[in-house]
Amino acid sequence: MLGIGTRRSVAATTHSGKSRTADSNQNQGDASGQDAGQSSSAQRRKRAAQRRREAVRETLQRRPLFEQPTNDDDSTYDSSVNYFASYSKGLPHDDNGEPDAGAYEALRSALSEADGGDFDAIPQAGVRPLTNPEAAISYNMVGLDPNDIYAPAAPSFDSAQAAGEMVELYWMALLRDVPFSAYADDDDVAAAAAELAGLSDFDGPTDAGAVFRGTIQGVQTGPYVSQFLYKDFERGVVRRTQRFRPLEPTEYMIDYDDWLAVQNGEVPQGGINRTTPGEPSLSDAGIRQDAERYPITGRDLATYVGENVSQQPYMNAALILQNTEPDDDSPENLALANLSADGPGSVPADPGLPVDPNVPDGFVDFVRSGYQSLLGGILQAHAHAAWYHKWRVNRRPRPEEFGGRVYHVVNGTEVDGQPAADRYPIHGDLIDSDALNETRDRISTSLLPQAYPDGSPTHPSYPGGHAVTAGSNATILKAYFDGDAVITNPVRPDPEDPTRLTTDGVADRLTVRGEINKLATNVSYARSWAGIHYRSDTTAGLRVGERIAAAVLSERLRQRSAGAYGSRGEFTFTTFDGTEVTVSADGVSPAGAFDPPLFRSKG
């Protein structure tokens, strides 16, 4: 939420002539003298340059040094075993699905150069190119440097955590078409929850009512799907519903030859890869159902993130919030109560705004132009950070690649004269799991079934790109909007008719903050429902995005004139780890809210 330190009543006096700060007095002085126009312009340029230098100093240079951790899989499983534990999809592979060691080393060499090496020297196996590894080298002109943002090391290939996350993914593949509303009575959901609870190392919920959800504040309350994926939103005079056509209930990449072809960069029949010229997209490949409905299953969420603009759900949420009608209890409208904002109006913004959020008083600097410009405007900044961790640090294999190693262990394959069970040290929690056994019995494969014909994109798994976007954009929404506002008419799709919404059976107290968090996890874990991301990809990605947003919000406040508003202001929001933080032009407090801290303490 955004605060300025002066209430709206004080702000009104600002516009009627309250005392000015040094900035304002300087403006008056600039206008005097024979060359007033030129002098004013010169002084303005000087102050603008000072602000930009300040941004560089505060955001980039006042940063504690830290060492970026890595799981060392790249060196543990090196060229002697063809880097089988590292990402390689799109490179040439042998018949066992292991990458050509020379090709992998060419990729690693290009990424290791300070300003990038010879990316053209990286061999490409099929028609699908690697997805822009060059972007891992790029710089940002706003916020933190993308190569200087902390994330924990990805779980190692042989860890119990990696095995546990794969167990969850096998269960998610089996349960993709079970409606969320049926979880309480579904025997398979109960079996999944019980197995997850018994794993050696698993960080997700293990209660049948909360399985496959996130663990941050609010996401285990109410329906599985966020209200911001149900409610109508308005774009000017156009009102849009959030019904869509889900994918057909088909499992892909369950045949080994199909799996191997995809690893070698080929697009299977019905392929949907948008990065390959001439190939059909998810919308025109003929693999979606004819009828629209609201999202009710994991496959529905996988459909949503299969071909969406990554900031789209958060912009929609902002449009829903800014157009809420408090006296309209229809299921399609978001009705709110318990607003902390004073004065009339329906925009659920923080009461500390120095302007009325419902009139043009704050049109440019605050309210709509503020959050709308950030939601889309920092997309490239957080994408660069995701790409740095994906390509230069972790290169974690996609779940489908991990599934290929599982396939060889289960089938007793010999790889280079070595039993696959000896070559691939997969934790027993996965190999002995009910999830894997049920997949073999029901789908006749030990590969990880995919929701998309071509599986994952051609870039590494950790952290999730959608998760980094979710972390960044959800943080912006929480900073600008009143998270304590209560949704008085929460809905869910009618179990008998998912083309309509109903308030029946939704008794939980839902807040704007909780539903923003739920939106972030819905979109991020939707990639797990597709079979293309692990749980920890989301856990790390949300927090990388949160760090980016916090730094950009601080920069945004440095652009404000203390003379015009009485203060540069501050933002407050609750982090994904449950800490309430304040972001000001001076940084973030408490400093320990992020570990390692985003900025060194002043003084």
Q: Given a cut of 60, is residue 158 above it in pLDDT?
A: yes
- 11: tokens are 């702000």
Q: Which amino acid is at 352?
A: G
Q: Given a cut of 80, is residue 489 above it in pLDDT?
A: yes
Task: Look at residue 494 and give its three-state secondary structure.
Answer: strand
Answer for the pair 484, 511: CB distance below 8 angstroms, yes or no. yes
d(CA 378, CA 471): 12
Q: Is residue 188 included in any domain, yes or no?
A: yes
- 555: tokens are 């920069």
Q: What is the pLDDT of residue 284?
A: 65
Answer for the pair 460, 396: CB distance below 8 angstroms, yes or no. yes
d(CA 313, CA 304): 10
Other C-beta atoms lying within 10 Å of the C-beta of residue 69: 13
Dihedral pair phi/psi, residue 405, rounded to 5°: -70, -40
For residue 219, what are the CA distances in angstroms to 178, 225, 437, 522, 603? 19, 9, 30, 9, 39
DSSP 291-304: S-B---SHHHHHHH
Answer for the pair 269, 453: CB distance below 8 angstroms, yes or no. yes
Q: Which has more confidence, 459 or 603? A: 459
Select from 239, 163, 190 the least CA-distant residue to 429.
Answer: 163
Compute the average pLDDT of residues 113-120: 96
d(CA 341, CA 349): 6
Compute the average pLDDT of residues 421-444: 98
* Mean predicted lDDT score pLDDT of the chain: 88
Q: What share of the chain is helix, strand, coil (3-state, %, to 5)?
A: 45, 10, 50
d(CA 511, CA 229): 15
Q: What is the pLDDT of residue 560?
A: 80
Q: 581 - beta bridge partners?
A: 573
- 17: tokens are 């002539």
- 141: tokens are 């002109």
Q: What is the pLDDT of residue 423?
A: 98
Q: 478 - beta bridge partners?
A: none
Q: Given a cut of 90, is residue 267 above it in pLDDT?
A: no
Pairing of strands 510-511, 418-419: unpaired
Model pLDDT for residues 580-598, shown as the tens digit of each residue:
999 988 889 998 899 998 8
- 108: tokens are 């690693």
* Cβ neighbours for 7, distance < 8 A, ≥ 6 positions apart: 342, 351, 352
Q: How many domains does the chain have?
A: 1
- 204: tokens are 């997700």
Answer for the pair 164, 199: CB distance below 8 angstroms, yes or no. yes
Q: Is residue 266 included in any domain, yes or no?
A: yes
Q: Given a cut of 70, is residue 355 above it in pLDDT?
A: no
- 188: tokens are 């398979």
Place of tokens 């090709």: 103
Burial of residue 602, with CB atoms counted within 10 A of its CB: 0-12 exposed, 13-18 middle, 19 or more buried: exposed
Q: Is residue 62 included in any domain, yes or no?
A: no
Q: Given a cut of 90, is residue 52 above it in pLDDT?
A: no
Share of the chain above pLDDT 70, in %: 87
Peptide bond into 360 cis (omega under 30): no
Q: What is the pLDDT of residue 55?
A: 81
Answer for the pair 431, 162: CB distance below 8 angstroms, yes or no. no
Q: Given a cut of 60, is residue 17 above it in pLDDT?
A: no
Q: What is the pLDDT of residue 344?
A: 40
Q: Is residue 308 included in any domain, yes or no?
A: yes
Answer for the pair 326, 337: CB distance below 8 angstroms, yes or no. yes
d(CA 454, CA 267): 6
pLDDT bin (cut points 50, 70, 90) of residue 326 is confident
Q: Which amino acid is at 565?
A: Y
Model pLDDT for residues 280-290, shown as the tens digit of each residue:
666 666 788 88
Q: 360 - beta bridge partners?
A: none
Q: Given a cut of 70, is residue 33 above it in pLDDT?
A: no
Task: Look at residue 77 and give its three-state secondary structure.
Answer: coil
Q: Is residue 65 included in any domain, yes or no?
A: no
Q: Which amino acid is at 379?
A: L
Q: What is the pLDDT of residue 568?
A: 78
d(CA 296, CA 282): 19
Top-ranked range on mean pLDDT: pick from 5-9, 263-267, 361-365: 263-267
Q: Is residue 26 included in any domain, yes or no?
A: no
Length of the chain: 603
Q: 415 - beta bridge partners?
A: 418
pLDDT bin (cut points 50, 70, 90) of residue 369 is confident
Pairing of strands 510-511, 486-487: antiparallel
Q: Is residue 9 included in any domain, yes or no?
A: no
Q: Kindly report which listed range (228-237, 337-346, 470-479, 500-509) carries the lowest average pLDDT score.
A: 337-346
Pairing of strands 587-589, 580-584: antiparallel
Place of tokens 């308005």: 234
CATH code for position 409:
1.10.606.10
pLDDT bin (cut points 50, 70, 90) of residue 370 is confident
Which helix (H) or strand (E) segment is 418 a member of?
strand 418-419
Q: What is the pLDDT of residue 346?
A: 53
Q: What is the pLDDT of residue 28?
A: 44
Q: Is the pTM of this model over 0.95?
A: no
Model pLDDT for residues 501-553, shown as the tens digit of each residue:
999 989 778 999 999 999 999 999 999 999 999 999 999 999 999 999 999 99
- 97: tokens are 């699905």
Q: Given a cut of 80, is residue 14 above it in pLDDT?
A: no
Most distant CA pair in the chain, distance: 89
Chain centroid, CA 398 distance in Å: 17
d(CA 304, CA 315): 15
d(CA 448, CA 400): 6
Compute the average pLDDT of residues 248-263: 96
Residue 327's domain comprises: 73-589
pLDDT bin (cut points 50, 70, 90) of residue 340 is low
Q: Given a cut of 90, is residue 4 above it in pLDDT?
A: no
Q: What is the pLDDT of residue 27?
A: 44
Select from 61, 62, 299, 273 the least CA-distant residue to 178.
Answer: 299
d(CA 121, CA 296): 45
Ramachandran bin of 97, using left for φ above 0, alpha for ψ from -120 to 50, beta for the remaining angles: left
pLDDT bin (cut points 50, 70, 90) of residue 236 is confident
Q: What is the pLDDT of residue 365?
A: 79
pLDDT bin (cut points 50, 70, 90) of residue 13 is very low
Share of the chain above pLDDT 90, in %: 70
Dihedral pair phi/psi, residue 336, rounded to 5°: -125, 155
Q: What is the pLDDT of residue 160?
A: 98
Q: What is the pLDDT of residue 324?
A: 86
Compute the average pLDDT of residues 184-202: 98
Q: Given a cut of 60, is residue 19 above it in pLDDT?
A: no
Q: What is the pLDDT of residue 282?
A: 66
For residue 288, what are the CA distances in angstroms to 138, 452, 595, 597, 599? 37, 11, 43, 45, 47
For residue 132, what are the CA distances in angstroms to 137, 254, 386? 10, 28, 12
Model pLDDT for residues 437-473, shown as the tens digit of each residue:
999 999 999 999 999 999 999 999 999 999 999 999 9
Q: Is residue 316 included in any domain, yes or no?
A: yes
Model pLDDT for residues 58-109, shown as the tens digit of each residue:
888 888 889 999 999 999 999 999 999 999 999 999 999 999 999 999 999 9
Q: What is the pLDDT of residue 310?
A: 87
Q: Kindly report which listed range (217-226, 239-248, 283-292, 505-514) carries the lowest average pLDDT score.
A: 283-292
Chain centroid, CA 226 distance in Å: 15
Q: What is the pLDDT of residue 425?
A: 98
Q: 252 - beta bridge partners?
A: 450
Compute the average pLDDT of residues 181-197: 97
pLDDT bin (cut points 50, 70, 90) of residue 39 is confident
